[in-house]
Amino acid sequence: MNSEELGEKIVRVLKTIYDPEIPVDIYELGLIYDVFVNEDNDVKVIMTLTTPNCPVAESMPLEVEEKVKSINEVNNAKVELTFEPPWTRDLMSEEAKLELGFL
């Protein structure tokens, strides 16, 4: 499996994780800023939260890490939380905006 295929698999897993306050998955919400996969299949996910004092600030990065680690081809996974740039509605996919009535 090449890194592109693994990347797609990771995205599919990320799309199963939902923000508890918004009925849209974290990928479509734009909370995932970047996913890096190295030659050893170690994965680094750069993500943010809708607000720095989000009620799932502790649990969501752990859930993302655990779900990505559960992919057979993934050797290890690390989640880095950032608030730069801050999350805005503009980061949401068209699908998410439609779902939430922003379009």
In the predicted model, what is the mean pLDDT of the chain? Answer: 93
Q: What is the arithmetic mean of pLDDT over 72-93?
A: 96
pLDDT of residue 18 exceeding 90, the answer is: yes
Structural domain tally of the chain? 1
The 10 Å CB-count burial string (b at 16+, else e) for 26-59 is bbbbbbbeebebeeebebebebbbbeeebebeee
* Whether residue 31 has pLDDT greater than 90: yes
pLDDT for residue 87 is more than 90: yes
Task: Tell me which residue range forms the domain holding 70.
Answer: 3-82
Tens of pLDDT, residues 41-71: 999 999 999 988 888 888 999 999 999 999 9
Residue 26 lies in a domain: yes
Residue 86, pLDDT > 90, answer yes
Domain containing residue 40: CATH number? 3.30.300.130
Answer yes or no: is 97 within a domain.
no
